[in-house]
Chain A
């Protein structure tokens, strides 16, 4: 049947090149139609090369962010102030490892290997979220990361649950469910500090002061400077612009900060009745680009630590692979022995 159709196409459109072009146009049209109809694109579907490339870049860097993001928080695991907080923090860091794995799996459906992506992370050819280049200086930073950083991540990620690429959307649904635990634990932790002693309150306020602006930068450059935004929105990879999501986040955070009894470090922050949104002060984009270029406070430390873990773990991975090869041969020997035993019994 497919052959008959191909033959018919060849007859109506003589010349191989012509029918190949027709085929390409047909595939492009089917893709555009699926995206327009809000259908999901699946791994084996045809997709434009640029769509594939763009998704690989975005999903890989998202995965890298989860993996690198374990470091600033893990920094406080051994120093958590109570067993309860320590257990929570460990569970959270474990979740982040899991999110990294979900995302690497989603990226792999696009035809890249995880090893290849890790290699790009280690050699600096792929980036991770700029936020993880900031240091965690006090215990309160763990709370501020949960509330603000994970809060910003959720605001970014909830719309991604409707992303046009099926495996990415499904990974995000799973991630978002778990991410809300992170955000709530952070908030609760800050609340305890805010209502604690004067020193604890000050520590919480200091952490919020340091994490607020970097959190706003997590939404990426302003719309007019965002190189991938327009195309991503046409492809329905992204559903909202950077500035739209950033505004949403600010509006969410203001009342939450009030309930915490903490202030946000922005003198220009005020409700704008006419817009129905909060106005907020200018973001230091020079700092943002600087951190992104590798000149943030912890860029070197984060990537060095990741690279070292990878290099020093090489012999363990090799041992596991060698053991698997050996085991793959072993069961046959067992079965043979059992069969032999039964036969002679």
Chain B
């Protein structure tokens, strides 16, 4: 394998014109960040999908593990008081 010519993988995030945040669009190979940006422009915004692009080396991303999904996200499940619907408000009270 010629590791000198195998280009690294980049993950691409696009923010659309009205989008509030960057959304993962896909990935691509490129020798450096500049080329990754240019290729991402051609590949993921050919139809005016966005006005801002981020490229991140795939190797720089750490993901949560699907095996520990339940235990990892468990703390969110037993705290219903984090949601506004948890609280009873008398009828007729406005702007709340």
Question: Which residue from A45, A108, A115, A323 sits with its C-beta under 8 Å from B32?
Answer: A323
Bound complex: CA of A101 vs CA of B29, how far in Å?
9
- Interface pick from A49-57, A156-164, A205-213, A313-321: A313-321
Q: Is there an interface contact between B26 and A102, defined as CB atoms closer than 8 Å?
A: yes
Q: Which of A42, A46, A94, A321 sits near B31, CB closer than 8 Å?
A: A321
Contact B66 A44 (CB under 8 A): yes
A171 to B25, CA, bound (A): 10
Could you say which residues of chain A place their CB within 8 Å of the CB of B1? 115
Q: Is the interface of A mostly helix, strand, loop or mixed?
A: helix
A-side interface size class: 20 to 34
Decide: B43 and A98 in contact? CB cutoff 8 A. Answer: yes
B25-44 toward A: CB 8 Å interface, digit per residue (1/0)? 01111011011000000110
A335 close to B (CB within 8 Å): no
A317 touches B29 (CB 8 A): no
B91 within 8 A of A: no
B47: A residues at CB distance < 8 A:
178
With the chains together, A253 CA to B22 CA distance in Å? 40
Task: Tell me, in angstroms, the Cα distance from A98 to B46 when the chains sit together.
Answer: 10
| B-binding residues in A (CB < 8 A) | 1-2, 42, 44-46, 94-95, 98, 101-102, 105, 108, 113-115, 171, 174, 178, 314, 317-318, 320-324, 327-328
The 9 closest A-B pairs by CB, nearest first: A324-B32, A324-B31, A320-B31, A105-B27, A317-B5, A44-B66, A321-B5, A45-B66, A321-B31
Which B positions have Cβ atoms within 8 angstroms of A?
Answer: 1, 4-7, 9, 26-29, 31-32, 34-35, 42-43, 46-47, 63, 65-68, 71
